[in-house]
Structure 1
Amino acid sequence: MDEVAGAIADPVRREILLLLRDQPLTAGQVAGRFPISRPAISRHLRVLRDAGLVRDTADGRRRVYTLVAGPLDELAGWIGRLTRPSGWQHRFDALETEVHRTRRERLTSPTTHSP
C-alpha cells in the first residue's frame, strides 16, 4: 500500500492514471499530453509500473501502457475506514432512529385513559 500511495502522490502520475483509465496508450502518446520531457514521463511510468498500477506490453518498438486498478483497492479500503463513521456514530444513529420511531408511535396510537 505504501508503494501505491507514493506512486499516486505525484500529480503527473495521477493524471497519467486518468489518461490510461479510458484506453491503453503508448509512452509517446502519454508524453504528448504533458509539457515535460519524454525521459521524465518514462520515469513516471516506471514508478507506476513498479507500484503495479500500470502494465506495459511491447508493440513492435513501442511500449503500450494499460491501467491496473487492483492495487488501489487496498488503499481505497484504508481511506474508507477513515471516512466512515466510527462505531459510536453507528450506535448514536440507531438510537436516534429508535427515538423517532417511539415518538411517532406515541403520536399515532390512541391512548386510553382510565379515570
Structure 2
Amino acid sequence: MKASRLDATFSALADPTRRAILARLSRGEASVKELAKPFDISGPAISKHLKVLEQAGLITRGREAQRRPCRIEARALKDAYGWLEHYRRFWDESLDRLELYLKERPAP
C-alpha cells in the first residue's frame, strides 16, 4: 500500500465522528441525512467528514434520484489492517520470546 494512501486512511480514522460514521455504514448504506442524525453538528460539517472518508477511499457516495447513499469500502480498511498485522505479529513474537525467557530463567 502506498504511504500516502495509508496516511489518508489513518488520518480519516483518527476522528471519532468519522469512526462512528464508518461503524454505522458497516451495517449498510445510509443517506447523508441518516448519517448526520446522531450528531450535534451541522450538515456542512458532516459533509466535510464524508469528504475526508471518501478521499481516503473508506466510503463511496452514489446518487439515486434525490438520495445520495453512502457505502463503506472495505479495501482501504483491509490495507490498513494488513499494515497493522505486521506489527501485531512482531509484538506477539516478542512477547512469546519474553515468556520463554522468563520460564527458562532460574528462580531468584
- TM-score of the aligned structures, taking structure 1 as reference length: 0.73
For residue 8 of structure 1, the aligned residue among 7, 13, 18 is: 13
Q: How does 1:1-115 map to 2 (within 5 A)?
A: 1-85=6-90, 89=94, 92=97
Quickly say closer, same or farther: Cα 1:90–1:33, change in 2 above 3 A. closer
Q: Using the alignment, how far apart are the partners of 1:34 and 1:91 within structure 2? A: 43
Q: How many residues are paired up?
A: 96
In structure 2, runs of 5+ residues without a counterpart are 1-5
Q: What residue ranges of structure 1 are gaps of 5+ in the alignment? A: 100-115
Q: Which runs of 4+ in 1 moved over 6 A?
A: none
Partners of 1:88 and 1:59 in 2: CA distance: 49
Decide which structure has greater strand share: 1
RMSD value, Cα: 2.4
Equivalent position SS for 1:55: strand
CA distance in 1, matches of 2:97, 2:25: 43
- Mapped to 1, the partners of 2:50 and 2:92 lie a distance apart of 40
Normalised by the size of structure 2, how large is the TM-score?
Answer: 0.77
